[in-house]
Amino acid sequence: MRMYDLIEKKKLGQELSTEEIYHIIDGYTKGEIPDYQISALLMAIYFNGMNVRERYDLTMAMRDSGDILDLSSIDGVKIDKHSTGGVGDKVTLVLGPIIASIGVPVAKMSGRGLGHTGGTIDKLEAFPGFNAELADEQFIKQVNSIKIAVTGQSKNLAPADKKLYALRDVTATVDEISLITGSIMSKKLAAGTDAIVLDVTVGDGAFMKNKESALELAKSMVDIGKRANKKIAAVLTNMDEPLGFAVGNDLEVIEAIEALNGNGPEDLMTVVYELGSQMIVFSGIETDKTKAKELMKEAIASGKAFDKFVEFIDAQGGDSSFAKDTKKFKPASHIVPVNAETDGYVHAIKAEAIGLASMSLGGGRETFDDVIDMAVGIVLNKKVGDEIKKGEPICYIHANDQAKIAHAEEMIRNATVISPEKCNHMDLIIDIVE
């Protein structure tokens, strides 16, 4: 079959067959089909979309382009959690140990941060010596032994996605539902778990800016998961403001440790409990989500969740003494308040701008080669709905370069809306797709 004919077919809005989709993905992965032809196809898909069968075939062809992990030797229902990204998102650091302490196997593959969104692997590497590159045998052994392991996405999983995403990024075809679905779900299905819980973030700091597009993506991913015989659910969570108070690697790790010790921010814990209750129900340990949430709260109150976190850090070579004494994390050399210039109520703290402000301090990457300053970031003092007085801190900037503070402060002020009218705190759980 000729690639020219397949481009023409999709340009006219026609369906690509299963065989044709596999031919395209296989040929491109092997370098037999050039970028310029795939670019043309991506644009045709962008304008004409794919139906549910085509999306499934695209996802499976991308999954089959590389290795597929065999986790069958892990006892129990293996569960992975995936977030579409956000600002202040330290959910995995809190959720994973809680779920593992209850006896649910958490086999998690995570990535690094890029742009204004943080990465779980970067945060875990705040613990000196932490090994985020586990061999398959080590990964499986650890999940069987302590019920949790987190490894980076360095394996040859869905290599077609890596090539396609790089091309989508430079051809303005990133934001198309079929292509996003294939990208996320091909890697999740290749990771070999039995169940997947998706955190689909919605709002200013998220990839999906509105509920309608986020809901369409969630339904698409859940449909693919079910067609692949996986237990799967998607929770739409609010990312109009940062999650929790801390934004920045060490700062978020410290907040996660506080959460595991029972002092987590209400918004963070709301998301953790919702995602975790779904994971527990999938595991079969509990059938009622309300009771599942109680199990999670008991795990925190008893100290089991924090103990599991320490065990997990130790198992992957990290120095868990930092978890036991967070003062061991080296603080930034400058901690500067950004004070309110008027009385009122906080109506907005735009998440994306806060994430970009943290990145401007050195707390994020513009490219994967950039080195993160682990100590810098922003710690909010107020959340949307809170009352604030003139001169009271909106947040604190943590910086190691004094020259970067003024620009970060300007970004924060532009991201913050204070109004004399009262407003409500944000609803965190927007919708659930099962």
**Same domain (yes/no): 181, 270:** yes
Q: For the whole model, what pTM was predicted?
A: 0.94
Identify whether residues 42 and 91 lie together within a single domain: no
Catalytic residue among 168, 188, 293, 350: 168
Domain that holds residue 367: 331-419
* Same-domain check for residues 114 and 235: yes
On the question of pLDDT at 111 being above 80, the answer is: no
CATH number at residue 128: 3.40.1030.10
187 catalytically annotated: yes
Catalytic residue among 161, 194, 204, 240: 161
- How many domains would you assign to the chain? 3
Q: Per residue in 222-250, pLDDT tens?
A: 999 999 999 999 999 999 999 999 999 99
In a shared domain, residues 404 and 289: no
Are 310 and 384 a contacting pair, CB within 8 Å? no
Is there a catalytic annotation at residue 334? no
DSSP output for 313-372: HHHTT--THHHH-GGGSPPPSEEEEEE-SS-EEEEEE-HHHHHHHHIIIIIS-SSTTPPP
Distance CA(197)–CA(84), nearest Å, equals 11
Q: For the chain, give the mean pLDDT.
A: 95
> 């200013």: which residue's tokens?
204
Decide if pLDDT at 1 tops 90. Answer: no
Residue with the two structure tokens 């998301």: 271
Burial label for 422, CB within 10 Å (0-12, 13-18, 19+), is exposed
pLDDT range class, residue 365, cuts 50, 70, 90: confident
CA separation for the pair 144, 105 (Å, rounded)? 7
pLDDT at 115 (0 to 100):
58
227 is catalytic: no
Q: Domain with 38 in it: what CATH number?
A: 1.20.970.10
Catalytic residue among 55, 78, 187, 398: 187
Residues 245, 152 share a domain? yes
Show which of 305, 324, 343 is a domain's final residue: 324
**Which among 65, 183, 283, 360 is annotated as catalytic?**
183
Q: Report the alpha-carbon distance of residue 278 to residue 198 in Å, rounded.
A: 10
Which of 279, 306, 324 is the last residue in one of the domains?
A: 324
131 and 150 both lie in a single domain: yes
In terms of domains, do 41 and 154 share one?
no
In a shared domain, residues 366 and 320: no
User: For residue 110, how many C-alpha atoms fall within 13 Å in the half-sphere facing its CB?
Assistant: 28
Q: Which of 55, 82, 116, 293 is catalytic?
A: 82
Q: Under a CB-based contact definition with an 8 Å cutoff, are residues 155 and 69 in contact?
A: yes
213 and 343 share one domain: no
**Shared domain check, 232 and 135:** yes
Model confidence band, residue 113 (pLDDT cutoffs 50, 70, 90): low
pLDDT at 109: 86
* pLDDT score for 114: 60
Least confident range from 188-192, 262-266, 365-369: namely 365-369
Look up the CATH number of the domain holding residue 394: 3.90.1170.30
Model confidence pLDDT, tens digit, residues 151-190: 987 668 899 999 998 899 899 998 899 999 999 999 999 9
Is 183 a known active-site residue? Answer: yes
The kind and range of the H/E element at 257 are helix 249-258
80 as an active site residue: the answer is no
For residues 380 and 242, the answer to whether their CB atoms sit within 8 Å is: yes
Question: How would residue 354 be classed by pLDDT, with cut points 50, 70 and 90?
Answer: very high
